[in-house]
Each structure stands twice: as structure tokens, then as C-alpha cells.
Chains A and B, each alone.
Chain A
Amino acid sequence: MLGTGLLKGLAVTFGHFVATYVQDLKNFPRRYRKEPLPGQEPALRGFFTVQYPEERLQMWPRFHGHLVQKRDPETGDYLCTACKSCERACPHGVISVEGERNPDRESKKKMLVTRFTWDAGRCLYCGLCVEACNFNALAWGKEYELAGYSRESLVWDFERLLEKREA
């Protein structure tokens, strides 16, 4: 019959129109979803819009957000030995490491890090540094709001990398 396809199309769009309001009524007083939304499974009915500052997506397991310097879970010491493997592995020369011999001869740690910088502004986020690390000291974190007002502010020092958590 003439126009059957048109009516079908209208029915589909009207279904979506109504479904969003039904979904709104179901979670009536709440305006934003509190927990981070799982990115892989968008809502089947109602909005799929993530209302960004209030709502966020959960980052996926292999997300490359920023570098993290890991700590020993027992002692809390950093794991980095200033071996410069990451510096050599980096295709863009984004990481630079300087270290000195540990004056404490008794300590298990032979080298101390004096300077470790990571230039997030020029980083490829390829992850070769994380793979190259022999001491499992580097990892990726999941934060992503890391913009700055200058190129200098995008260069992370060792303390900032230590503050962040691997998630």
C-alpha cells in the first residue's frame, strides 16, 4: 500500500521520542547518572548522550591516559631504577631520565632518580616506554583532562608522575 514505509518510519521515530520520556519518568528525580557509564554498553532505551561534565564514561582497560610511575605496594618506594630503557625506547625522545648512585650502600636500590620528565604535549601515547621498562615501573593511567595553558605545563616531572594512580 502507498505510504506504508512512511508510516513505519514515523512509528520508529515516535517510539524513540516516547521512549526517552518514559526513561526520564522512570528515573524521575535524578537528572544525571552518578556512576561512570560503561563505555562499551550504551543505553538501549532513552538517551545515550553522556552529559559530559556531570557524567563521564568509564575508561576501557587499555586506555592510554598518562604515564604513571609505580610504587612498591609494601614499602611505598618508587620502582624506577633510572636505567634509561624508556628514554631509549621512546621514538620521540619525550622521556628524559637522570640518576645518581644511591649513597646508602645497604639499600636494595642501587640508583636514585634525580630527574625524570615526560613531555605529554609531544607524546605519541604508543606505550613503547611501558613495554621497555624492565622493572615494571611504568604504567598507563586513565585520567584524560590533562590540558594546560602552556607547553611547559605539559612537561610532567617525577613527583607528578608518582602522584598519579594506575587505574
Chain B
Amino acid sequence: MPFLNNLFGNLQDLISGWLAGFLPPWGVELAMMLITVVVLLAFLVVVVMYLTYLERKVLARIADRPGPNRVGPLGLFQPFADVLKLILKEVTTPQGVDYAPYILAPVLIVAPALLVYAVIPFGPRMVPADINVALLFVIAVSSVATLAILMGGWGSGNKYSLLGGMRAVAQMISYEIPLAFAFLGAVVVTGSLSLVKIVENQPGYPLALSQPIGFLIALICIVAEANRSPFDIPEAESELVAGYHTEYGAVRFAMFFLAEYIEMFTGSALVALLFLGGWRGPILPPYIWFLIKVYAILFFMFWLRGTFPRLRVDQLMAFSWKFLLPLGMVNVVVVALIDKLHLPGGFVPGLVAGAVIFAVANWIVGLRQRRPAARPAGAGLRVREA
């Protein structure tokens, strides 16, 4: 069991020990880096392939359908068929594209999505680079995706693409701010920006219990950051054909697709690390616990997609700036206060504070909603009684 618990660390020791037999120290270092990168990339690609399968299955079950079940047993080879199709398709370039941004966008969107994994720990020793500003690095690097989407939208020379790109920029900038505020709560309590330290410094319970508001905000924002339904305004298929990737096909489209699913995985991993205790958990090895938590959040994202219709653009912006952002600010202040006061009772004070914040938010939103009913009865349209 101890061997399994630290399986990847042990493998690393084994391989580097074997390499040290015939390579100089810098050679070992270089080889280990390459191995890590290759393993991580292979893992991510497979994860993305099967995320599409999982998503289609979950959505299908929600809609009382069986989902993919023709290619292989239970449809398990469906992802391979999809990937093969995307790779083998002819790559076409539409007339009138702005060539440089058009070609660069698919590359630029995948690169930061993958770069983030340099600092995301899958277990105690399972992190390529444990830098002390990892969270800042993740937020900064993942913002580059916004630029890539705008490049794709602009470069396509298509009004729908451009609209999709513009919407993506507006949305991703709007939702990054509440997301950062939500993460700040976890940083305040753990006192570090290193993702490894954040997990190690957490108290014995997941922070979702002591910071329910922060957890909810983060959960909503990662869905919006990955441009997923119900926040899929940049690619709203009923309005914008496919949004910023309308003019992309074959491998170039596959890049956008890959990036979207990797971003989903990244967002889920961050929430799992910050609010659900990362890899910590009883009995099972740490990396298994981590993946369970990540997949639970991914399932939640699919579940949201299967349940809710898309938000309108103004609703989307209003929800972020008028609701999530103030809530996030209040949350940070309250969380910091509770942390400073060293109240007894574990997560209970945090939970109570969260409930109070939620009740107040509920009351304020209720005030806004009640206003039209105050019109005198019989004047103009009759207002339906609440």
C-alpha cells in the first residue's frame, strides 16, 4: 500500500536511478523532464477523449437516451472514431481569412491550456514544478486563451466568428474576477499560493464546508471560464453558428475542442485542490482521490449542461458583475475575518457565515424583484400576484 500511495514518486526514483547509471546529472534531469511531459500530455489527451465520451453518455442518460453504443462494447471506441475522423479530414482554409491569426489561434489556445499542467499537482509528489506562485501562474496563463479565441474570431473574417470572439473576451474577463476572489478565500486560509502548500495547509475538512459561498462562486466561474453551457455564449450555436470556431475544420477544430476540454479539466482540478481537499482522503491512494474529486466536478458540469438553457448576453454579464463579484468580495472579507478570529468549532463558523451571506443576498435580490408589484392595482397591466 505505501508503494501504491506514492506510485509515481517511486517510479520517478526508479527511472532516474536507472538513468543515473549512464547519464550525467544534467542528462538525467533533461530525460526526466521529457518523460514527465510526454506522460502528462498522453494522459491529458486520453482524458479529453474519454471526457467527450463521458459527456455524451451523461447528456444522453439525462435525455433518456442510451448515448454512443455502436462503436465497440458500450460505445467505448467512439472517441477513437471521432479523433480519427477529425485528424483524417482535409484541412481547408476559407477565402478572406486573416492568415496569421487564423493559423496561430488553434496553436495559441492549446499551448496555455497545457502549460497550466506544469504546476497542477495530482498527488503529493506528482507535480512537474512546485513553484510558490502556482495559483497566480494558472490564472495568468489561462487568460491567454482569451486572446487566442479573439484571434480565431477575428482571423476567420466571419461576422459570427467575430461576434463569438468578442463575447468570449467579455465573458472570460468578467468571470475571471469573481473566480480570483473565490480562490482568494482559500489562499487566505492556507497562507500560500503554491498549489501543493494550499492542499497541505488545509484543515482536516474540505474548504467547501467552511467557505460554501467561495466554493459555489468558483464552481460557477469555472463553467463560464471553459465556455460551457449554460455559459456557452461565445459558441451559442442557435445564434452564432459555432461562434469563434465556425471557420475551423479538421485538426484545427480539434485543437479548439481539445483546449476546451483541457480547460474544463483544469478548472475542475483547481476547485478540487482548493475547495475539496485535493488529493487528501482515506484509504485510496492520493491520485485516485484527486481524480474522483475532479470527475465529480466534471460530472456536475455535464449535469448543468443537460439541465439549463443558455443565458442571455446581458444576463450573463449582470450575473457576474452585479451578483458574483459583490458576493465574492463579501466572502473574502468574511472568510479572512473568521480566519483571523480563530473561532472554535472547525468549519461551523464558516458554514454559518456562508448561510448568513446567502440569506442577505437572497433578501437583496428579493427587494429588486418585488419592485414591479408595488404599482397600484388596476393601473395598466395587471401584475400577477406572487
Spell out A's residues near B (CB within 8 Å).
1-2, 6, 9-10, 12-14, 16-17, 19-21, 46-49, 51
Spell out B's residues near A (CB within 8 Å).
58, 61-66, 69, 303-304, 306-308, 358, 361-362, 365
Contacts of B63 in A (CB 8 A): 16
Q: How far is the CA of A46 from the CA of B61 in the complex (A)?
A: 8
Contacts of B64 in A (CB 8 A): 16, 19-20, 46-49
Given A9-B307, A9-B308, A10-B307, answer yes or no on A17-B58 (Cβ-Cβ < 8 Å). yes
Name the distance in Å between B149's Cβ and chain A's nearest Cβ: 27
CB-CB nearest 9 A-B residue pairs? A13-B307, A13-B62, A17-B61, A2-B362, A20-B61, A9-B307, A17-B62, A49-B65, A13-B306
Given A1-B362, A2-B361, A2-B362, answer yes or no on A10-B65 (Cβ-Cβ < 8 Å). no
Q: How far is the CA of A13 from the CA of B300 in the complex (A)?
A: 12
Q: How far is the CA of A10 from the CA of B362 in the complex (A)?
A: 20
Partner pick for B61 among A1, A2, A6, A16, CB 8 A cutoff: A16
Closest to B361 in A: A2
Closest to B305 in A: A13
Q: How far is the CA of A76 from the CA of B358 in the complex (A)?
A: 81
In the complex the two chains form, is A10's CB within 8 Å of B303's CB? yes
Q: How far is the CA of A12 from the CA of B58 in the complex (A)?
A: 14
Q: How far is the CA of A14 from the CA of B302 in the complex (A)?
A: 11
Q: How far is the CA of A10 from the CA of B62 in the complex (A)?
A: 10
Known: A19-B64, A47-B65. 14 other contacts (CB 8 A): A2-B361, A6-B308, A10-B304, A13-B62, A13-B306, A14-B62, A14-B303, A17-B61, A17-B62, A20-B66, A21-B61, A47-B66, A48-B64, A48-B65
In the complex the two chains form, is A13's CB within 8 Å of B303's CB? yes
Contacts of B65 in A (CB 8 A): 47-49
Contacts of B365 in A (CB 8 A): 2
Quick one: which of B64, B304, B307 has the most chain A CB within 10 A?
Answer: B64
Q: How far is the CA of A5 from the CA of B304 in the complex (A)?
A: 13
Quick one: which of A9, A16, A17 has the most chain B CB within 10 A?
Answer: A17
Contacts of B308 in A (CB 8 A): 6, 9
Q: How far is the CA of A19 from the CA of B308 in the complex (A)?
A: 19
Contacts of A51 in B (CB 8 A): 66, 69
A to B CB contacts below 8 Å, 11 in the list: A2-B365, A6-B308, A12-B307, A13-B62, A16-B61, A17-B58, A17-B61, A20-B61, A47-B65, A48-B64, A51-B69
Quick one: which of B62, B69, B303 has the most chain A CB within 10 A?
Answer: B62
Q: How far is the CA of A57 from the CA of B307 in the complex (A)?
A: 29
Q: How far is the CA of A12 from the CA of B308 in the complex (A)?
A: 11
Q: How far is the CA of A16 from the CA of B303 in the complex (A)?
A: 11
Name the distance in Å between A45's Cβ and chain B's nearest Cβ: 8
Closest to B363 in A: A2
Name the distance in Å between A115's Cβ and chain B's nearest Cβ: 44
Closest to A23 in B: B64
Quick one: which of B69, B307, B358, B361 has the most chain A CB within 10 A?
Answer: B307
Q: How far is the CA of A105 from the CA of B78 in the complex (A)?
A: 68
Name the distance in Å between B292's Cβ and chain A's nearest Cβ: 18
Q: How far is the CA of A28 from the CA of B132 in the complex (A)?
A: 52
Contacts of A12 in B (CB 8 A): 307
Partner pick for B62 among A2, A6, A16, A49, CB 8 A cutoff: A16
Q: How far is the CA of A14 from the CA of B59 in the complex (A)?
A: 10
Contacts of A14 in B (CB 8 A): 62, 303
Name the distance in Å between B121's Cβ and chain A's nearest Cβ: 30
Closest to A24 in B: B66
Name the distance in Å between A28's Cβ and chain B's nearest Cβ: 14
Name the distance in Å between A78's Cβ and chain B's nearest Cβ: 43
Closest to B58 in A: A17
Q: How far is the CA of A17 from the CA of B303 in the complex (A)?
A: 9
Q: How far is the CA of A58 from the CA of B232 in the complex (A)?
A: 40
